[in-house]
């Protein structure tokens, strides 16, 4: 297993840095506007929760690129990989445009979610800018997934790392109004983010067109880069269920955040701090899950089923180890981490307690991510989507609502619902992967 851990981590490390950087952009916005006042922080939380559903749906669609290209790479099929690049990026870009326009036309949805009206007034301009930022984000991620599938994971990592100082600099100027520019506060954070995402997307596009490692995929573009409905259909058959799966999960968390907003700005700001921290560490887990997915797809392309099974077991154990490690860190540092985002005593105390709840579900959160990524690697997404829907919308969210609203446990009750939803998801997804791989091996022996 030690060798397998090393092989997975070699692919995962750049993915982890890239994922953490993506989340860091949001954390930077939250930390910088949180230093102004908690109303700005609550407004950022509201937008994050509402926009999370369409955003993660778009991200889910881009992930279809990874197994399709990785399987083609395992088969040494350059033509197929290049064709998936062209058609996949097109589908993802169109999806990003449609989502952005839909959000731009419906900003008043923020007024119908039971939130503080002052918070909503601050949130709407930020909401609109973040909606348009989904276009360059989706474009960048679709190209990133192509690079990752070929195991060129350091490419997107480099661009992601460069985005941090760029975003911090733009935020500093636009949020606080330096160099003679107006003080835009939360809106400035949104403008800084969209500018950063545009530059990242253009930079990665330029690199793919000029880097020698991608030359063989571009040399055949006259033949491969054509709209093919069968290719688009393959992409959508994998991408749409994955998008729904991601959307179902994030929608449950987003709606939970909106419900917590009913309890007031302090509860919402505390929840946002805790969930941002959880999301940050979860991106490390996602990097490992994606690396496992890439390795599984590659083994499937080579028809190496025993190797596929070994990769699956090692990926599960690696993810579980990280989950336990994060749980320990949350327990030790839960009183100190929230100070990064805010200094108000009641917000800090509540956020610290929520991090203790988070420590309870770190193992199940990590292992459910492993199960989801491994199943996606063998192109099994439809039944897992139903599993995720059941775990969150039949178990986690209703239980959280009952405890939080009916029993008036507020944010604590909602977070207890997270524990049960994530645990259910983990059990169902990992049993599904184990069963499918064993079935594939038995069938190959006949």
Query: Which sequence spans correspond to the domains of the chain?
Result: 2-445
Per the CB < 8 A criterion, the answer to whether 366 and 319 are in contact is yes
Are 78 and 216 in contact, with CB atoms under 8 Å apart? yes
Q: Which of 68, 94, 93 lies closest to 83, judged by CA?
A: 68
Q: Is 239 exposed, middle or buried (0-12, 13-18, 19+ CB in 10 A)?
A: buried
Per-residue b or e along 20-51, where b marks 16 or more CB atoms closer than 10 Å to that residue's CB: bbbbbbbbbbbbbbbeebbbbbbbbbbbbbbb
Sign of the four-CA dihedral 197, 242, 389, 325: negative
Confidence of residue 425 (pLDDT cuts 50, 70, 90): very high
3-state percent helix, strand, coil for the chain, nearest multiple of 5:
85, 0, 15
pLDDT value of residue 399: 94
Determine the pLDDT at residue 68: 86
| pLDDT, mean of residues 282-300 | 87
Dihedral, 12, 15, 20, 23 alpha carbons, nearest 10: -140
Of 255-264, 305-314, 381-390, the range with the lowest mean pLDDT is 255-264
Mean pLDDT of 231-250: 82
Grouping H, G, I as helix, E, B as strand and the rest as coil, residue 369 is helix
Alpha carbons 114 and 257: distance in angstroms, whole number: 12
Contact 214, 208 (CB under 8 A): yes
pLDDT of 346 strictly over 90: no
Which pLDDT score, from 0 to 100, does residue 272 have? Answer: 80
Give CA–CA dist 173/147, Å, rounded: 33
In 3D, which of 252, 254, 267, 258 has the Cα closest to residue 410? 267
Name the one residue in this structure whose structure tokens are 């916005």.
29
Q: Of 156, 144, 120, which Cα lies nearest the Cα of 58?
A: 144
* pLDDT at res. 27: 67
pLDDT at 2 over 80: no
C-alpha of 76 from chain center: 29
157-203 pLDDT per residue, tens? 888 888 888 888 998 888 888 888 888 778 888 899 899 999 999 99
Cβ–Cβ < 8 Å for 405, 260: no
Residues sharing a CB contact under 8 Å with residue 366, sequence separation 6 or more, in sequence order: 285, 319, 320, 322, 323, 326
**pLDDT confidence bin for 446, thresholds 50/70/90:** low
Sorting pLDDT into bands at 50, 70 and 90, what band is 23? low
Q: Are 192 and 175 in contact (CB under 8 A)?
A: yes
pLDDT band at 328; cut points 50, 70, 90: very high
Task: Choose among 70, 85, 103: nearest CA to 139.
Answer: 85
On the CB side of 86, CA atoms within 13 Å amount to 18
Average pLDDT, the chain: 86
Q: Where is pLDDT greater, at 50 or 93? A: 93
Contacts of 198 (CB under 8 A, 6+ apart): 136
Q: Whole-prediction pTM value?
A: 0.78
Structure tokens at 54: 């369409």
- How far apart, in Å, do the first and last CA atoms of the chain sit? 28
Per-residue pLDDT band for 273 (boundaries 50, 70, 90) equals: confident
Which positions ≥6 away from 169 have C-beta within 8 Å? none
């Amino acid at each position: 297993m030690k060798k397998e851990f090393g092989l997975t981590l070699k692919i995962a490390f750049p993915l982890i840095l890239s994922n953490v950087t993506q989340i860091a952009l949001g954390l930077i916005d939250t930390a910088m506007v949180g230093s102004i006042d908690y109303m700005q922080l609550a407004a950022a939380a509201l937008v994050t929760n509402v926009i999370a559903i369409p955003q993660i749906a778009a991200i889910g669609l881009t992930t279809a690129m990874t197994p399709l290209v990785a399987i083609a790479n395992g088969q040494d099929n350059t033509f197929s990989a290049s064709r998936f690049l062209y058609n996949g990026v097109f589908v993802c870009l169109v999806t990003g445009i449609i989502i952005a326009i839909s959000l731009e036309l419906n900003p008043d949805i923020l007024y119908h979610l039971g939130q503080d009206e002052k918070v909503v007034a601050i949130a709407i301009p930020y909401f609109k800018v973040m909606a348009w930022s989904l276009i360059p984000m989706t474009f960048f991620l679709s190209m990133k997934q192509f690079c990752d599938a070929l195991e060129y994971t350091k490419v997107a990592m480099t661009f992601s790392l460069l985005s941090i100082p760029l975003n911090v600099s733009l935020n500093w100027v636009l949020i606080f109004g330096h160099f003679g520019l107006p003080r835009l506060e939360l809106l400035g954070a949104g403008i800084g983010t969209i500018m950063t995402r545009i530059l990242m997307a253009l930079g990665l596009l330029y690199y793919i067109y000029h880097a020698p490692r991608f030359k063989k995929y571009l040399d055949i573009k006259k033949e491969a880069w054509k709209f093919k409905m069968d290719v688009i259909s393959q992409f959508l058959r994998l991408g749409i269920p994955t998008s729904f799966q991601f959307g179902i999960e994030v929608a449950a968390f987003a709606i939970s955040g909106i419900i917590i907003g009913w309890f007031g700005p302090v509860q919402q700001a505390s929840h946002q701090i805790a969930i941002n921290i959880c999301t940050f560490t979860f991106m490390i887990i996602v990097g490992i899950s994606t690396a496992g997915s890439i390795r599984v797809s590659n083994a499937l392309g080579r028809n190496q089923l025993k190797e596929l099974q070994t990769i699956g077991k090692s990926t599960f154990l690696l993810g579980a180890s990280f989950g336990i490690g994060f749980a320990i860190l949350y327990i030790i540092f839960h009183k100190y981490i929230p100070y990064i985002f805010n200094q108000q005593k009641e917000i800090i105390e509540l956020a610290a307690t929520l991090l203790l709840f988070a420590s309870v579900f770190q193992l199940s959160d990590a292992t459910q991510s492993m199960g989801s990524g491994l199943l996606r690697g063998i192109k099994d997404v439809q039944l897992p989507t139903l599993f995720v829907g059941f775990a969150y919308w039949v178990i986690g969210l209703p239980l959280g609502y009952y405890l939080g609203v009916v029993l008036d446990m507020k944010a604590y009750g909602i977070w207890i619902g997270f524990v049960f939803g994530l645990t259910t998801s983990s059990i169902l997804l990992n049993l599904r992967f184990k069963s499918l791989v064993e079935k594939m091996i038995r069938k190959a022996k006949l």
